[in-house]
Structure 1
Amino acid sequence: MKQPNILLIMTDQLRGDCLGFARHPDVKTPYLDTLASRGISFDNAYSACPSCIAARAALHTGLSQEHHKRTGYEDGIIWDYPHTMAGELSKAGYYCQCVGKMHVHPLRNYLGFHNVELHDGYLHSARYTSVPWQESQKNADDYFHWLKQEKGIDADVTDTGLECNSWVARPWIYEEKYHPTNWVTDRSIDFLRRKDPQKPFFLMASYLRPHPPFDAPSYYFDLYNRKELTPPALGDWETEELLKSQGRVFDSKCGPLDKDLIREAQVGYYACITHLDHQIGRLIQALVEYGVYEDTLILFTSDHGEELCDHHMFRKSRPYQGSIRIPLILSGNDRLLPGLTPGTVSHSLVELRDVMPTLLDFVHTHIPDTLDGKSMLPLIEQPQKALREVLHGEHSYGEYSNHWLVTPQDKFIWYSETGTEQYFRLLDDPKELHNEIDNPVCQNRICQLRDCLIQTLKNRPEGFSDGTKLIPGQPYPPYMPS
């Protein structure tokens, strides 16, 4: 009998709390809510190195950042790993197709997929005129090639006037069918049309949104423009220094100073999420029409979150929940996921590195012993089992370079440039409104977590720890030296 199929739905920059089933007060996601209602969702899912390249390295290799070596954002480094998610599934007899974002190097590196229909969004390093032609997005990116065929040689995603890291928002200027979110769905559905019916498939539908530009079609902007929106989280520990110095810069790391522009950023972000959700709905309906919905495991997740003006911050890479916490759903019937209670929520601590071993476990094939990730399938029957007690995360980010430890209960943060520390009790304070680093009641726990980080970092080549203390100010490149 043919093995079941796998659909991995990957999004970019989607916060773990911006979903209807996660009880967000404003965002509506009926199709993702459906996936969660028939599966298991994880409310302590994280991206240990929360930016596009490093997060995807964890996803595709099953490795922690200490082993895939990407500790921040840097383009142009060759992806060369002995085991990849698609490569191992291919060995197990799966036809592996990716549609959408890969963000690897070189751009047409397939990482074990049999075929890739590529759209990486706007990549600065691949758009400069000095880039070799074969590595230029104007040549290598399938969506850009298609858009210019459809709309004319000068058509581009920049025609809205928006930048790919900006909080500026406005509706998509072309017909909705030309939007990159629709394109990923269209090409994924076309794969279902032309797939080999006798062979199981692994389809990765890899969407760009809600990563900026915030440019959903007008219908979705209208949904949120007429609503009163919950303002961003603001605690008792932030300073306005960065906001005052950069709050009028369109692509700043703090978001806008103007309250109307903050609201516009929220409207644009939420509009992109609901647009994405509806396009995922199209893909789910196509699975039904092609008769493969009941034979397909669906795994939904994101590479990292978006700060969205929480704590006067924007984008990702910093150690706060808006940036590091991600959605993760395993959805299927009880034949695909034996022992499942539909609608289960697991509080176990999981990470992107766990996706690859989970899928390999699902198809009953060999899991390389070099992987750092763990299969999440045991959590189907035992959702409150602890897959791990603590997770170490980090990001090379200049003056904001950071390391952190998170548990289902709390979080310890260390900024490696300055030595600044923070501590949050997440169970009581999920929005991180109160930094408890100086609270006498918390000192024993803070010492435990600090000591854990000291031991975690003691053999790192950067010199963050000597085994007895944390050492700030060490050089911290985005790719670990050997």
Structure 2
Amino acid sequence: MSGKPNLLLIMCDQLRADVLECYGNSFVQTPNIRRLAESGVCFDRAYSQTPVCVPARHGLIAGVNPFELGLVDNSLSFEDIRHPLPELIRSQGYATYAVGKMHFHPVRKHYGFDRMLLSEEIASHIQDDDYLLYLQENGFGDVIEPHGKRSEHYYVPQQSELPEEHHSTAWTASRTCELIRNNRNRPFFIFSSFIKPHPPFDPCVPYDRMYPESAIPMPVRQESEKHPDDYSIWTQNDYKVNGIDNVSDDDIRKMRSYYYGSVTQIDKQIGVILDTLEETGLRDDTLIILTADHGEMLGDHYAFGKRTYYESSTRIPMIVSWPNQIPQGERREHLSMLQDVYATFIQAAGGALPLESSGKDLTAACQDPNIPSRERIIAEYGQGRAMKFMLRWGDFKYIYHANGERENLFHLGLDPNELHDIADDHREICSSCRQQLVEYYKGYSFQEALDCDSLRSFPYEQPVANGYINQYPAWPQTLIQDT
């Protein structure tokens, strides 16, 4: 070893924090993630600023707020990243690898990765995707949608067509373990990114029946939330489940059961990765961060998907483990976000943090719980009428919706399930929050958020129902042509 720690970033797609044992869930089995947490520090107030795949991931590797890249939704048009994380780490003498889902555009834009072993959620050509090539080579090239059937089946729970050992979850862990073994004599940075538990929820046998539907807890919700303030919830419910009134309690329980099964299936493979680090004698020399790009509503507040600022969507796990360097089995209340992964890894590698980075080194808070937390997190999602903002501080969360200038205010200390909107009772707090947001976005010259000296607004409008959308219809046709 060179004296530099190995760096391992484990990301799960659409993994909400409260589904994990180490975040208080006693129902879903995640013993290996708990094992990781017991060897490190859990951050209890970690958030995805723009809770959807592309902005979250690119904000992480850029070390800046996603909107600074021009990303407020899943657009594939954005600013160049000036100081990408893998490039800065490679400059410190590291071998750098990407495994699994990156969601980059173009798909093989490497950002400083020496090698990319990709398993993307949607591939345009089989030759671009290492996992699809693997399936073809191993006799599973006839499986047209190996990550689960989409379109009108997008949120329909389904058993994977693949055996567990060939599922993308196992493939991602296996490729990660190969890289660990092959690089045991030089420092490495591996970004290991699982597609799941992103929908479709398609666990393998036996995970599809691991959680009996009769035992599944129902979502946190109340009847009044069937008519949400959030424009994105209206839209997502329409195309994901064809409208909230079309989803029965049995449907929801089954959906949650299969999501939980997918999480436990991932947990098993994370255990395989941890075992490999221990078998190779590298565990003590490896700084691991486990996180997610965003969460999943799973019916909470009568909503499905992400793209909202309820805790289920925007709060993410953030677990930091570095044996002999930071405490073990502790928790931190510091407000944290994905750019902190950027800062933590760069500084652990011995690099200098770029001035424009908004990240903070998480190991500092791990080592000293008295280091002050950032005072607030400001977040934004969407364009036009769908635009909304979050201000998170102390025990409070404020949300502003451009559609009709709707506002929500929650006291998470007293109301962790966000069932009691207190905005009408605290107009002075809401007014202060709006002014803070205005001044903040003025400082960045983010004009899309502003209308002169106010936040952008539109007359209130409820979306028109369109029903299911045919997602990525080119996916199966392209692969059939390629095979």
TM-score by length of 1: 0.88
- The question of 1:454 aligning with 2:438 is answered yes
Q: Which residue of 2 aligns with 1:19?
A: 20
Whether the 8 Å CA contact 1:164–1:211 is kept in 2: the answer is: no
Q: Which residue of 2 aligns with 1:10?
A: 11
Whether the 8 Å CA contact 1:13–1:303 is kept in 2: the answer is: yes
Sequence identity (%)? 30
Structure 1 position 240, deviation (Å): 4.5
CA displacement, residues 275-302 of structure 1 (integer Å, 9 cap, x when unaligned): 0001100111011111111111111000
> Secondary structure in 1 aligned to 2:29?
coil
Task: Read off the aligned partner of 2:45 and give its amino acid letter.
Answer: N
- The question of 1:420 aligning with 2:410 is answered no
Structure 1 position 364, deviation (Å): 2.4
Alpha carbons of structure 1 residues 78 and 48: separation in structure 2 relative to 1, 3 Å: closer
Distance 2:244 2:218 in 1: 15
Structure 1 position 155, deviation (Å): 2.2
RMSD of aligned Cα (Å):
2.4
- Any stretches of 5+ residues in structure 1 without a counterpart? 127-135, 475-482
Task: Read off the aligned partner of 1:87 and give its amino acid letter.
Answer: E
Equivalent runs, 1:170-189 vs 2, <5 Å: 170-189=158-177
Whether the 8 Å CA contact 2:226–2:244 is kept in 1: the answer is: no
Task: Read off the aligned partner of 1:194 and give its amino acid letter.
Answer: N
Equivalent runs, 1:247-262 vs 2, <5 Å: 250-252=240-242, 257-262=247-252
Q: Which residue of 1 aligns with 2:286?
A: 296
Aligned mate of 1:216, from 203, 207, 210: 203
Whether the 8 Å CA contact 2:70–2:78 is kept in 1: the answer is: no
Task: Read off the aligned partner of 2:297 and give its amino acid letter.
Answer: E
Equivalent runs, 1:377-392 vs 2, <5 Å: 377-392=363-378
Distance 2:74 2:301 in 1: 22
Task: Read off the aligned partner of 1:171 and give its amino acid letter.
Answer: Q
Equivalent runs, 1:392-407 vs 2, <5 Å: 392-396=378-382, 399-407=385-393
> Secondary structure in 1 aligned to 2:49?
coil
Task: Read off the aligned partner of 1:219 and give its amino acid letter.
Answer: P
> Secondary structure in 1 aligned to 2:12?
strand
Structure 1 position 421, deviation (Å): 0.8
Aligned mate of 1:473, from 458, 462, 465: 458
Q: Which residue of 1 aligns with 2:217?
A: 230
Alpha carbons of structure 1 residues 455 and 427: separation in structure 2 relative to 1, 3 Å: same
- The question of 1:283 aligning with 2:273 is answered yes
CA displacement, residues 241-295 of structure 1 (integer Å, 9 cap, x when unaligned): 8999996865558595211111111011111101000110011101111111111
Q: Which residue of 1 aligns with 2:185?
A: 198
Q: Which residue of 2 aligns with 1:269?
A: 259
Q: Which residue of 2 aligns with 1:478?
A: none
> Secondary structure in 2 aligned to 1:377?
helix
Higher deviation after alignment, 365-374 or 101-110: 365-374
Whether the 8 Å CA contact 1:119–1:141 is kept in 2: the answer is: yes
Structure 1 position 414, deviation (Å): 0.7
CA displacement, residues 53-98 of structure 1 (integer Å, 9 cap, x when unaligned): 00001110100123222111113x3663120111100001110111
Structure 1 position 232, deviation (Å): 0.5
CA displacement, residues 7-34 of structure 1 (integer Å, 9 cap, x when unaligned): 1101100012110011124222101111
Whether the 8 Å CA contact 1:399–1:417 is kept in 2: the answer is: yes
Instruction: Report the count of equivalent residues.
Output: 453
Whether the 8 Å CA contact 1:167–1:212 is kept in 2: the answer is: yes
Distance 2:287 2:241 in 1: 38
Q: Which residue of 2 aligns with 1:41?
A: 42
Q: Which residue of 2 aligns with 1:361?
A: 347
Q: Which residue of 2 aligns with 1:114?
A: 114
> Secondary structure in 1 aligned to 2:210?
helix
Distance 1:238 1:431 in 2: 13
Structure 1 position 365, deviation (Å): 1.7
Distance 2:245 2:205 in 1: 22
Task: Read off the aligned partner of 1:427 and give its amino acid letter.
Answer: G
Task: Read off the aligned partner of 2:137 and give its amino acid letter.
Answer: Q
> Secondary structure in 2 aligned to 1:406?
strand
> Secondary structure in 2 aligned to 1:9?
strand
Structure 1 position 159, deviation (Å): 8.2
Higher deviation after alignment, 217-226 or 49-58: 217-226
Whether the 8 Å CA contact 1:214–1:272 is kept in 2: the answer is: yes
Task: Read off the aligned partner of 1:284 and give its amino acid letter.
Answer: L
Structure 1 position 139, deviation (Å): 2.2
Distance 2:81 2:46 in 1: 24
